[in-house]
Amino acid sequence: MEIYNPQLWWTHDLGEPTLYTLQAILSLDGTQLEQQQQEVGIRTLELDQSPDTAEPGTRFFRFVLNGVPIFVRGACWIPAHSFVGALKAERYAMLLKAAQEANMNMLRVWGGGIYEHDVFYELCNRSGILVWQDFMFACAMYPEDKRSFVDEVEAEARYQVRRLRNHPCLALWCGNNENQWIHDRTYWDKPDFAVPGSLYYNKLLPQIVKELDGKTPYWPGSPYGGNDYSMLAQAEGLKFGIEHYRRRKPHCSGTLIWQLNDCWPVLSWSIVDYYGFGKAGYFYTRRAYAAVMASFQKGNDGEH
């Protein structure tokens, strides 16, 4: 299908969330068998994870709408009423208007809630608010060894992807809420113990999204960053902070970082563990605290 000079769908902060009415009719030998009608938007949306050349070793995680990289401003959305069957369009409209007036351009439908009623997504389409859509898995260990449960998960996911895939507000499918994060914190000493539910987050759900949607990006969980080598993240943060404050001497005249040691074997901010072994942060800090240190920053004239 070719559409000439289309009006694109934008988030409300960038333009108009233009919608078209699409009507599809299925007929056989002049007899109408089925008819569907839906508001649709014309837009492109990509999840850019290309290397960030300005910060070597990192990559972007940004949405690009109609070729324009956007800064996501939003919040997590939980069910708007304890009795979800009683939710009215007016309540959805009130809350989404509040989000729009707060200059939000994306909402995350939290995986501990529900797949929202159709009217929620229709109002997001009209309001120019993108939706990060979690699958309904949250803060729990989900079984993979019961065929009946696996079948239910697959049936639910297929139904929801088919139901929501055509909304222009749909920005991303997300596997779960916090399950990988909780698992990594709880079983940090068991690297071979896979996250219960990995079958869903790493295989079943992305396959269904690819098969039935094919356009909307999929992300395994929130928070999730792959293998994040957390010690290095802490170490780089300490190095960055210490060097910054040292460069400000005498305006800043000291840093006492949290924390040196621990009172028991535990996962924490300490840079020396309970047994006396230095973590990555210890060695980065030792270098950043050297009596003489070379550190650079861009001057007001653009020079370093």
Instruction: Transcribe 16-83 into DSSP letters.
Output: -B--EEEEEEEEETTEEEEEEEEEE----EEEE--B-TTSTT-B--EEEETTEE----EEEE--SSSS
Q: What is the Cα gyration radius of the chain?
A: 24
d(CA 8, CA 37): 19
Domain boundaries, the chain: 48-219, 230-288
Instruction: Give, for 132, the enclosing helix (H) or strand (E).
Output: strand 130-134
Catalytic residue (choose from 178, 211, 236, 243): 178
* In contact, 39 and 16? CB cutoff 8 Å: no
* Strand ranges, E, within 138-294: 170-174, 218-219
**Topology given in CATH for the domain delimited by 48-219:** TIM Barrel (3.20.20)
Q: Amino acid identity, residue 259?
A: Q
Place of tokens 């098969």: 211
- Backbone dihedral angles phi then psi of residue 30, each to the nearest 5 degrees: 80, -5
The pLDDT score that the predictor gives to residue 188 is 78
178 catalytic? Reply is: yes
The pLDDT score that the predictor gives to residue 261 is 85
pTM: 0.77
* In contact, 158 and 125? CB cutoff 8 Å: no
d(CA 44, CA 13): 16
Place of tokens 């060894």: 145
Secondary structure (3-state) at 239: helix
CA atoms within a 13 Å half-sphere pointing along the CA-CB vector of 198: 10
The pLDDT score that the predictor gives to residue 227 is 59
Q: How many helices (H) and strands (E) does the chain have?
A: 8, 10
CB contact set of 110 (below 8 Å; sequence gap of 6+): 76, 77, 78, 134, 138, 177
* In contact, 283 and 235? CB cutoff 8 Å: yes
Which regions of the chain are under pLDDT 50? Answer: none
* In contact, 168 and 143? CB cutoff 8 Å: no
The pLDDT score that the predictor gives to residue 302 is 64
The pLDDT score that the predictor gives to residue 257 is 85
